[in-house]
Chain A
């Protein structure tokens, strides 16, 4: 019969359509029975609804629900500072300039000043700018920083009304604490801390034997 192909295709669409209601009902009964928290607005159901077992409506109800980004997600860079118990900040960045050298569109500007007494460079950036209208979110700066000082942030809600004032991020805007970094990238943080501890242990062992 002419038109059978179209009808079969419509059957596929009908199947998707019915599946959205069946799926809703499944979640509804799950919520009533207490097995789950309902279809929307909780993180557990979001993981199921957005994974490879997804059936029914595939939508993420932004802004009430936000799809969590994976750990490796990279948006804009940020500078990490260590904070001790008293609240003193110590920038990890030593203004070595590798991130500025490796940045493909050259959007990082660093000013490194010299100590007026000794004439040697201070291992801290005096000024650090990133022009986010040029940054391509490639992550090379974070990948090649030898001091784990610049990392890629997860914050993507940065829309603004004015770019001239706000889109060149200075050091103040870019600095976030190591605790924040640990919260967004736990696996990487744990690995780096382990490596740092191992290096410290090796150094102290060598100092002891020497």
Chain B
């Protein structure tokens, strides 16, 4: 808490006359007027060293008739956040875009436009990103209700004591959760096509490569249904022969309205929904959300719970990296043998998750102030066997199997390069950032839980190509094993929950940003509470989503086959990209 107030004091002191301290109870950071935002951000980045913009969130304050955009910036050398925000009127919200200064704000500002209707002046390509062009309305606004709307906040009163069961689609005229504007005539309506999307693609000139023959560029859609196992993700590429000239990602095919549902849920109800964000790393997702709410509540879990949290988070890291390496090799063409070897080990770790939390993937294990239940009999032994005996050998075997393979080396070295400056500017996170030479790991830079007690290295590589991202993941698995061995050795006995388990959690008013180093990158949760049982705003800073900002840049000049491998090396999961 003291560091946060220091930062907010710093910002208001560093920028006298421009930044005013945010005086709302529970809020940190400074308020910057919209017209001075760009200069403020430039000075913050250049003079004060906050070169990494992590999160851009739009918030709708309907009662005060304001729209707010909150920014969290960090120093790549480490340290707490610089939180600043700008407030505009709700009737016509226009905020200057920070893309010229922090290009990583690109996709996040498009999301704020799509879901909240905040227009960003100066954004290079302000189109909808998660919903389709032509959708009526900005769904995350507080006054926007879908057809299946029942009540403002859960629990719904009609479930008990007089719960007459129904299927909600039976109550709608077309059995759909669809809202249409007044006097909508489907026969006369003209569809909006994707002209803006295709027009934005750069096309090469004919014969522009110095070829003697006049060549033509064609536009190809990769996805949303495709053999790569990453999910429903579409890429629109303009190619000349086999070479990519420009590539744009299109997402939103798995947009499940996590944030809107999150505002309707109570705080505890959100926990199982966070499992479904990055569905490989459910323990990590739970961890981030628990941290964010615990910051607001001002509580910390007991010692044993902290150790178990670290054990679960690091096992999740191994699970995720095994799956990623398997899928990367799948994308390179080694169809399925590396996946099978990797998933075999993953199954053993999932057995541990199933024995502890009840489910292989959707763990729902963390609670505010601790964990749902203690480790059952024999599970610690299982973990000990895995961590000391089986996993080190298997990771060495995967290393021997794949790392010096000539095909892997030829296809991965020098492909999809993201330089150090590009990675920082594009807000890349996690292995993508560290493979490009930036030694930023949230567990070191801004430690949470008890990570400052463990002795581990942060692996960094400098080339920023696919091969480095693969090597980083092998290194990180080895470091996770180191942490696990220390945690399993040092875990104390004791309680696993601070206070009594409650389903109606009292969360004081305020905002908080809880971040963890998820295997895919920095996962952040921005939670605004007004003291009610339901959060006012609930936003997820998804690493896969923001890592995709650099996809077009990395793919230019490579072949179509390389695009698939580059996508595999970024390691996206659609549950997180689309939320």
Contact = CB atoms under 8 A, between A and B. Distances in A.
B160 A12 contact: no
Interface in A94-144: 95, 97-98, 100-104, 106, 108-112, 121, 127, 129, 131, 136-140, 143-144
Given A72-B376, A101-B503, A138-B272, A52 B400 contact: no
B164 A109 contact: yes
Nearest to B382: A52
Interface stretch (B11-19, B230-238, B402-410): B402-410
Interface residues of B, number: 54
A152 B373 CA distance: 15
Contacts of B156: 106
A108 B159 contact: yes
A168 interface: yes
Interface stretch (A2-10, A20-28, A77-85, A173-181): A2-10
Nearest to B381: A52
A12 B397 CA distance: 7
Given A72-B356, A139-B358, A127 B163 contact: yes
A54 B358 CA distance: 22
Contact of A4 (B272, B386, B390, B404): B404
Contacts of A144: 501, 503
A68 to B, nearest CB: 11
B168 to A, nearest CB: 9
A8 B341 contact: no
Contact of A111 (B154, B163, B404): B163
A131 B407 contact: no
A97 B161 contact: yes
Interface string B355-391: 1111100101000000011001100001001100110
Contacts of A106: 154-156, 159
B372 A112 contact: no
B355 A72 contact: yes
A103 B273 CA distance: 11
A13 B337 CA distance: 9
Q: Which of A51, A70, A71 has the most B CB atoms < 10 Å from its CB? A: A70
B160 A143 contact: no
B159 A100 contact: yes
A195 B342 CA distance: 43
A197 B407 CA distance: 66
A131 B272 contact: no
A102 B386 contact: no
Q: Which of A54, A73, A95, A138 has the most B CB atoms < 10 Å from its CB? A: A138
A23 B364 CA distance: 37
Given A52-B389, A109-B163, A6 B355 contact: no
Contact of A71 (B165, B376, B405): B376
Given A111-B161, A111-B163, A140 B269 contact: yes
B341 A109 contact: no
A198 interface: no
Contacts of B162: 111-112
Contacts of B405: 5-6, 9
A74 interface: yes
Contacts of B386: 52
A101 B155 contact: yes
B370 to A, nearest CB: 13
Contact of B406 (A5, A54, A74, A102): A5
A69 B390 CA distance: 22
Given A4-B404, A71-B376, A72-B373, A138 B163 contact: no
B268 A52 contact: no
A201 B390 CA distance: 48
A58 interface: yes
A97 B160 contact: yes
B354 A72 contact: yes
A121 B220 CA distance: 65
Q: Which of B154, B164, B358, B407 has the most A CB atoms < 10 Å from its CB? A: B358
Contacts of A101: 155, 159-160, 503
Given A8-B404, A12-B397, A138-B272, A112 B377 contact: no
Nearest to A71: B376
B320 interface: no
11 contacts: A2-B406, A6-B406, A51-B348, A58-B344, A70-B376, A72-B356, A104-B269, A104-B272, A108-B163, A111-B161, A129-B163
Given A16-B341, A71-B376, A140-B272, 17 more contacts: A4-B404, A5-B404, A9-B402, A12-B401, A50-B351, A52-B385, A69-B354, A72-B356, A72-B373, A73-B354, A97-B159, A104-B154, A106-B154, A106-B156, A111-B161, A138-B364, A140-B269
Interface of B: 154-156, 159-165, 167, 265, 268-273, 337, 341, 344, 347-348, 351, 354-359, 362, 364, 372-373, 376-377, 382, 385-386, 389-390, 397, 400-409, 501, 503
Top 10 closest pairs, chain A to chain B, by CB: A109-B163, A5-B404, A97-B160, A138-B272, A104-B269, A129-B165, A112-B161, A101-B155, A74-B358, A70-B355
